[in-house]
Structure 1
Amino acid sequence: MMSTIKNIVLIASMLTVTSGCSSLGLGVEPWERDLLAKKEMLLNASPVDSALDDHIYFSKEASSGGKGVGGGGCGCN
C-alpha cells in the first residue's frame, strides 16, 4: 500500500516537472528582439578593439597566420 502511494507521488511529481517546459515559449518573443539587436549583445561588440587585441597577440607571439594576419614578430605588417 505504501509503495503504491510512493509511486503515485513520484509519477505526479515527474508529470508536474516535465509539463513545466511545455508551456514556455521556446525562442525569442517579439518584444525581446529589440534587446537582442543592441550593439552590446553582439559576440564582438567592438571590432576595433578586437582587431587591436589580435594585432598585439600576434606581434608578441612572433607568429603569423591563423586569423588572416600577415607579418612577423615586430608587428609592422
Structure 2
Amino acid sequence: MMITKLTALMLLLMMAATLPACSTVQPWERGNLAKPQMALDPHPLQSSLRAHNYGSREAAAGGNAGQGGGCGCY
C-alpha cells in the first residue's frame, strides 16, 4: 500500500510541475519569445551545413536528409 501512495504522490508532483507550462502567452510577451536567443536552434542554416558536412565525411547512414560518399555530394 505504501508503494501506491508513493506512486500517487510522485504522479501528483509531476502533474503540478507541468501545469505552469500550459499557460497562455499575452500579446505583449510574444516579442520576448520571438527573439533569436529563444529559438531551439538559433542558427538553423549553420546546423544544416554542419550536419551535411559531417554526414559526407563519415559516409554513415543516419537521420540526416541524405548521405554522400565523402566527396560532399549527395
- What TM-score, normalized to structure 1? 0.50
Instruction: Output the amino acid matched with 1:35.
Output: N
Q: Corresponding residue for 2:42?
A: 45
State the Cα deviation string for residues 35-74 of structure 1 (Å, max 9, x = none).
1112332222222201111012212322245221232233
Q: CA RMSD in A?
A: 2.8
Q: How do residues 1-77 of structure 1 correspond to structure 2 at under 5 angstroms? A: 26-77=23-74
Q: Any idea what SS the aligned residue of 1:35 has?
A: helix
Bigger Rg over Cα? 1
Instruction: Output the amino acid matched with 2:25.
Output: V
- What TM-score, normalized to structure 2? 0.51
Gap regions ≥5 residues in structure 2: 1-15
Question: Greater helix share, 1 or 2?
Answer: 2
Contact 2:59–2:67 (Cα < 8 Å) also in 1: no
Percent identical pairs in the alignment equals: 48
Alignment partners' CA distance in 2, 1:57 and 1:67: 10
Instruction: Output the amino acid matched with 1:57.
Output: Y
